[in-house]
Structure 1
Amino acid sequence: MRAWTVLAGSRAPRAAGAIHTDFEKAFIRAGVYSVPDLVELKSEAAIRAAGKLRTEGRDCVMRPCDVCHFLVGK
């Protein structure tokens, strides 16, 4: 697992662009959950089962401790 830092208040496409500029251009959506939820529930599968995985679009503002899985197109 890797971590990239983004400026506070960055929107999801900009956060994806921190990984690779092509990710910002081809951003579709992000699956987002928080580190405290991961600590409490112990796995991403448990987070999904508890309904704490959010699907966010381009307008999503990143918050401290967000964990994101980005879906990008071609």
Structure 2
Amino acid sequence: LREHDEASPNLPGVSAVIKRPRAATVRFLNADGHIEDRDLVGLWATSMQHQIDHLNGRMYFDNLSKMKRDMLLRRARKLK
């Protein structure tokens, strides 16, 4: 696993350290409609997992414990 600070423009001013797998393999359709597989490592893997979470209706803070998520959301509300 790799720990990395993640944030989102949906919650400006707050971030959290999230643990995600250090590497990931993704399969997608390229611009020509052909299937491609890509092995990603480090920040590329983290970023892809973060974006796939969005496609699945999840935010980075959904990976936190309830206590840490609640603290982060309280901080975000105070910054509004």
> TM-score higher than 0.5 here?
no
Q: What is the TM-score of this pair, normalised by structure 2? A: 0.26
Q: What is the TM-score of this pair, normalised by structure 1? A: 0.27
Bigger share in strand:
2
Greater RCO structure (CA 8 Å; 6+ sep): 1
Question: Quick check: which has more Rg, 1 or 2?
Answer: 2
